[in-house]
């Protein structure tokens, strides 16, 4: 009898040890109704990698256009470069939220899109030729916002801008700075894309563990963080003066180009909606996603139809954003209440994502002991 | 009746169970401190944050920068001394004070388990846990005894019984029993468990876990008390706590509970444990035992009993204080903590603070990440006392920065046990004008639902 008891005890201890060590081991395949591995595969293969591939091709074009312009700085070449810069900037809105893996390591979003850009220090860098874009202190002197200044903000007219790259005594330094900006973006983009295609994809898809370091939990946190901080606050809230006494029109995205701030916002909202619904980047089919995951969990829970509520609110926010002026600086200066109204609708999405979706998915925020009360 | 009680307090029993409890408790606490340190949590939870949430009345208890490591070191060494039974009385007092100080530094990290340890440590200050199988007894045979009053061992059983039974009572509510909430949220996310992952998706599993969890908590103290059911109960204890260890991030607690319930076993079992430890450490067991006088340990001054009587009365009554508040306990959390409500509900929240100049009407929102860690923000956004304390911190912070006529408003949403999120605190109330107290917080918005039960 005693041996039996002791045997049971040992078996339980052994079961415990195997269960605990599974925190680090590769989890075994489960065939329950919702397959997180399939969701990660859909994210990686149909959304993330295609989005980075598309972005990377735009960035390559942008770098080529930069070379042409610096070789022959004409108004036509400036306009050509500006056009691909804009396309690349719009395309960036589709990858900005995936701050995971290599992108997280190189702080991709911070390297590419910190605004307002620091004009006086950019001029300083150009004058001295002394800068290293790898330093964290230089994030507001590089990326798309710095290019915005270099292509749109140096002077009023295109002819006057071109002068900076031709007859200006510092013309060579301006050209070098412009080239370095373009090349840095291309280098970073290439680094992140080749990491995804070179093995990170498999590691990402295999990391189905349910913990703060699992790919689902991590990307969910990244996605919500992006939506709350970069999209809701960065593109709308901060310039509209939500976080300050008075409005901050100079903090609008693409401040010098002016008329694309709305386009960038709408692209970012669309990218967020599409990711939520698992929509193929290069097509119209939908795969496993937050939406299908929430729907699956709701078959267990029988609560409110959360995915529908979130999608509805996305639509409401998009409609509000559509009412805005193409140029947010003008919008803020003429009628800021519309910016505030857009912010409010985006804010409602944040609540749904950060409170309701996080609770439904039971996503871990951090590794600490907590008894959930 | 009175004589029966008097007789009970005259009863003596073998000291071995108490000694084993001391050794295992001290050792587990030592491991707990080492684990906490090794995980880098001292740095992450007590040094990096810019702001710490205080318990009402304990605002003076704060981390002390890098010296916080010293508190942990003292606590760990004291735990080791307790295990050895070396300078026991001083060691257990130091352990109790340092451990409690650590827990009071930031209520973000509040766990019932930590409170449990503080309670047991307090209790142990008054128990003669070092009269047997200890360095103290070895060095000074006059302090060595084989017998101790029976109530000293029973007091540990009582505190364990309270923890379990009250945790069981707390589960007797409609969300837990009839909706299997929050297990319906928690268990499906454990999809990656080997063997169990699929089962965790099944509603019948959620209900089975809910009901058996409640029954287990209510019944286990009694099953452990009776000799006939004791081994069965202990098997249940192991299964239950191993399950909680596998499913939830509650650290050392399952092991501490498993080890603590050994106190229910009789002396023979504990003698074997002591013999085993002696062999392991190559201590001459017979010599240790020979040292102990067959005399009974007697309390010199009679303060231990009255103090512990008051302690247990408080333990029995304190968890019921929530009845003095009119609103739903899970929603307002007035009287929620220190009541053995363990793993009982799932709350998620979001709180956005607005700083307003009441004269000019100028206003702006606060970015919480400027002041709080993600963990702190998560805890703050669902608990009203956190929201209030943080609002005051923000108000004072911006006043110090030169802002005038500062009013602080919170727009917040909370989702409870899978219900859709709803507004939590009244967004039109200036939180700077509200003070923390034991009175009800009438700036919390109504729950608009009922959870029936205790």
Q: What is the pLDDT of residues A108-157, one digit of tens each?
A: 999 999 999 999 999 999 999 999 999 999 999 999 999 999 999 999 99
For an interface test with A, the pick among B42, B186, B188 (most A C-beta atoms closer than 10 Å) comes out as B188
Which single residue is written with the structure tokens 């702080």? A107
- The closest alpha carbon to B31, from B252, B273, B263, belongs to B252
A302 shares its domain with A345: yes
* ipTM summary value: 0.86
Same domain, residue pair B177 and B103: yes
Closest residue of chain A to B202, computed from CA coordinates: A300
Mean of pLDDT values over B148-156: 95
> How many domains is chain B built from?
2
Residues B263 and B372 in one domain: no
Contact A358/B348, CB-based, under 8 Å?
yes
Q: How many domains does chain A have?
A: 2
Query: What's the pLDDT at B295?
Result: 72
Distance (Å) from the C-alpha of residue B107 to the closest C-alpha of chain A? 12
* DSSP 3-state of B33: helix
Token pair 């002077």 in the structure block, residue? A155
Q: Which of residues 17-56 of A touch B (CB under 8 A)?
A: 18-20, 22, 27-28, 30-34, 36
Q: Are B117 and B102 in contact (CB under 8 A)?
A: no
How do strand B145-149 and strand B293-296 relate by DSSP bridges?
parallel
Q: Residue A25: pLDDT above 70?
A: no
Tell me which of A180, A207, A234 is where a domain ends.
A207
Residue B366 resides in a domain: yes
Q: What is the pLDDT of residues A286-316, one digit of tens each?
A: 999 999 999 999 888 878 899 999 999 999 9
Contact B313, A341 (CB under 8 A): no
Q: Which chain B residues are Cβ-neighbours of A351 within 8 angstroms?
A: 350, 413, 421
Give chain A positions within 8 Å (CB) of B402: none
B319-337 confidence digits (pLDDT tens): 999 999 999 999 999 999 9
- Whether residues B155 and B50 share a domain: the answer is yes
Domain contains B51: yes
**A25 domain-assigned:** no
> Domain check: are B182 and B125 in the same one?
yes
In a domain, residue B450? The reply is: no
B399 and B293, same domain (yes or no): no
A-chain residues near B197 (CB < 8 A): 27-28, 30, 32
Same-domain pairing of A110 and A129:
yes
B350 vs A354: CB contact, 8 Å cut-off?
A: yes
Q: Is B80 left (phi over 0), alpha (psi -120 to 50) or beta?
A: alpha
Kindly state the DSSP code that residue B293 receives in the 8-state scheme: E
pLDDT above 50: residue B194: yes
Is residue A35 in a domain?
no
Q: Is A5 close to B235, i.e. CB distance below 8 A?
A: yes
Q: Is residue B143 part of a domain?
A: yes
N-term to C-term CA, chain A: 41
- Chain A nearest C-alpha distance from B304 (Å): 33
In a domain, A14, yes or no: no
Residue B255 sits in the same domain as residue B381 = no
Kindly state whether residues A60 and A203 are assigned to the same domain. Answer: yes
Contact between chains at A372 and B189 (C-beta distance less than 8 A): no
CB B331 within 8 A of CB B444: yes
Confirm whether A265 is domain-assigned: yes
Q: For the residues B340-350, what does the mean pLDDT come to?
A: 93
Query: For residues A110 and B229, what is the distance between their CA atoms, to the nearest angstrom?
Result: 63
In chain A, residues 296-315 whose CB comes closer than 8 Å to chain B:
297, 300-301, 303-304, 306, 309
Confidence bin at A368 (pLDDT 50/70/90): low
Round to whole Å and give the CA distance between A33 and B199. 11
The answer to whether A47 touches A98, Cβ cutoff 8 Å, is no
Same domain, B315 and B228: yes
Angstroms from B223 CA to nearest CA on chain A: 17
Q: Is 50 exceeded by the pLDDT of residue A22?
A: no
**B100 & B163 share domain:** yes
The pLDDT value recorded for residue A370 is 57
Neighboring chain B residues of A362 at a CB cutoff of 8 Å? 185-186, 188-189, 346
Looking up residue A161, the CATH number of its domain turns out to be 1.20.1420.20
Closest CB to A371 among B111, B357, B367: B111
Indicate yes or no: CB of A210 within 8 angstroms of CB of B251.
no
A105 touches chain B (CB under 8 A): no
Q: What's the pLDDT score for residue A34?
A: 86
Q: Does residue B341 sit within a domain?
A: no
What residues in A contact B345, CB-CB < 8 Å?
372-373
Residue of A nearest to B330 (CA): A373
Average pLDDT over residues A328-338: 96
Given a contact cutoff of 8 angstroms between Cβ atoms, the answer to whether B380 and B372 are in contact is: yes
Same domain, A202 and A296: no
Residues A339 and A230 in one domain: yes
Does the residue B439 lie in any domain? no
In this complex, the residue of A244, A361, A369 whose CB is nearest that of residue B364 is A244
Identify whether residues A196 and A260 lie together within a single domain.
no
Q: Is the pLDDT of residue A31 over 80?
A: no
Tokens representing A73 are 């700085």
Mean pLDDT of A23-39: 59
In a domain, B216, yes or no: yes
pLDDT of residue A167 exceeding 90: yes
pLDDT, position A72: 96
Domain with A143 in it: 48-207
Question: Which residues of chain A from 195 to 214 reach within 8 Å of chain B, CB to CB?
Answer: 208-210, 214
Containing domain of residue B369, as a range?
346-433
CA A10 to each of CA A14, A23, A296, B241: distance values in angstroms, whole numbers, following the listed order: 6, 21, 38, 15
Q: Nearest Cβ partner of A20 from B245, B336, B342?
A: B245
Of B189, B352, B164, which Cα lies nearest the Cα of B258?
Answer: B164
Examine the domain organization and report whether A227 and A370 are in the same domain. Answer: yes
For residue A12, the model assigns a pLDDT of 44
């Amino acid at each position: 009898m005693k041996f039996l008891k002791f045997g049971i005890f040992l078996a339980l201890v052994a079961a415990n040890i195997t269960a605990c060590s599974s925190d680090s081991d590769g989890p075994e395949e489960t065939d329950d109704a919702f397959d997180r591995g399939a969701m990660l595969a859909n994210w990686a293969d149909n959304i993330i990698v295609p989005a980075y591939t598309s972005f990377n091709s735009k960035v390559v074009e942008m770098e080529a256009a930069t070379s042409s312009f610096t070789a022959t700085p004409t108004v036509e070449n400036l306009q050509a470069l500006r056009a691909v810069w804009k396309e690349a900037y719009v395309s960036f809105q589709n990858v900005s939220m995936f701050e995971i893996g290599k992108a997280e390591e190189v702080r991709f979003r911070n390297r590419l899109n910190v605004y307002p850009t620091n004009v006086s220090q950019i001029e300083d860098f150009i004058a001295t030729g002394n800068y290293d874009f790898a330093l964290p202190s230089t994030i507001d002197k590089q990326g798309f916002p710095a290019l915005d200044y270099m292509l749109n903000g140096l002077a009023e007219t295109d002819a006057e801008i071109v002068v900076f790259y031709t007859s200006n005594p510092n013309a060579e330094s301006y050209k070098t700075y412009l080239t370095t900006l373009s090349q840095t973006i291309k280098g970073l983009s290439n680094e992140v894309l080749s990491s995804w295609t070179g093995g990170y994809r498999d590691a990402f898809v295999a990391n189905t563990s349910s913990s703060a370091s699992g790919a689902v939990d991590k990307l969910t946190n990244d996605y919500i963080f992006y939506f709350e901080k970069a999209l809701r606050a960065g593109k709308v809230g901060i310039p509209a003066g939500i976080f300050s006494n008075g409005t901050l029109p100079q903090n609008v995205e693409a401040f010098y180009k002016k008329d694309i701030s709305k386009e960038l916002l709408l692209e970012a909202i669309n990218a967020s909606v599409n990711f939520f619904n698992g929509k193929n980047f290069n097509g119209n089919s939908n795969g496993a996603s937050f939406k299908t995951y929430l729907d699956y969990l709701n078959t267990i829970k029988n609560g409110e139809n959360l995915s529908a509520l979130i999608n509805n609110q996305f639509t409401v926010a998009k409609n509000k954003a559509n009412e805005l002026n193409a140029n947010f600086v003008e919008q803020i200066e003429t009628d800021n209440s519309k910016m505030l109204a857009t912010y409010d609708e985006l804010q409602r999405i944040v609540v749904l994502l950060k409170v309701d979706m996080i609770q439904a998915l039971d996503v871990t925020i951090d590794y600490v002991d907590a008894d959930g009360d | 009746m009175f004589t029966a009680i008097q007789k009970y307090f005259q009863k003596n029993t073998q000291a071995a169970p108490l000694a084993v409890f001391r050794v295992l408790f001290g050792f587990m606490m030592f491991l707990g401190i080492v684990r906490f340190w090794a995980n880098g949590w001292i740095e992450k939870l007590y040094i990096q944050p810019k702001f710490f949430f205080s318990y009402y009345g304990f605002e003076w208890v704060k981390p002390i920068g890098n010296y916080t490591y010293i508190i942990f070191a003292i606590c760990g060494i004291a735990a080791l001394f307790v295990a050895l039974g070396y300078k026991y009385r001083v060691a257990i007092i130091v352990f109790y004070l340092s451990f409690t100080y650590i827990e009071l530094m930031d209520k973000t990290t509040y766990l019932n388990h930590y409170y449990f340890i503080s309670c047991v440590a307090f209790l142990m200050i008054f128990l003669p846990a070092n009269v047997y199988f200890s360095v103290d007894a070895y060095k000074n045979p006059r302090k060595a005894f084989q017998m101790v009053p029976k109530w000293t061992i029973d007091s540990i059983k009582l505190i364990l019984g309270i923890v379990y039974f009250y945790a069981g009572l707390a589960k007797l509510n409609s969300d837990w029993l009839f909706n299997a909430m929050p297990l319906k949220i928690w268990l499906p996310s454990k999809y990656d468990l080997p063997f169990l992952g699929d089962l965790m998706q099944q509603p019948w599993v959620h209900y089975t876990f809910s009901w058996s969890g409640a029954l287990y908590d209510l019944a286990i103290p009694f099953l452990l008390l009776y000799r006939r059911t004791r081994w069965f109960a202990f098997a249940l204890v192991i299964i239950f706590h191993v399950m909680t260890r596998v499913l939830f991030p509650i650290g050392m607690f399952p092991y501490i509970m498993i080890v603590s319930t050994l106190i229910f076993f009789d002396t023979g079992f504990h003698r074997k444990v002591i013999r085993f430890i002696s062999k392991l450490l190559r201590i001459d067991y017979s010599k240790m035992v020979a040292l102990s006088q067959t005399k009974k340990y007697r309390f010199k001054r009679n303060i231990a009993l009255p103090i512990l009587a008051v302690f247990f009365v408080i333990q029995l009554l304190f968890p019921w204080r929530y009845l003095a508040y009119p609103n739903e306990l899970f929603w307002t959390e007035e009287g929620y903590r220190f009541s053995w409500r363990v793993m009982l509900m799932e709350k998620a929240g979001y709180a956005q603070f607005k700083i307003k100049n009441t004269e000019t009407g100028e206003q702006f929102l606060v970015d919480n990440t400027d002041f709080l860690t993600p963990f702190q923000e998560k805890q703050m956004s669902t608990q009203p006392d956190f929201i209030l304390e943080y609002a005051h911190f923000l108000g004072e912070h911006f006043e110090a920065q030169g802002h005038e006529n500062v009013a602080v408003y919170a727009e917040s949403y909370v989702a409870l046990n899978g219900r859709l999120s709803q507004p939590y605190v009244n967004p039109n109330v200036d939180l700077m004008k509200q003070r923390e107290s034991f009175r009800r917080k009438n700036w919390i918005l109504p729950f608009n639902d009922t959870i029936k039960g205790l």
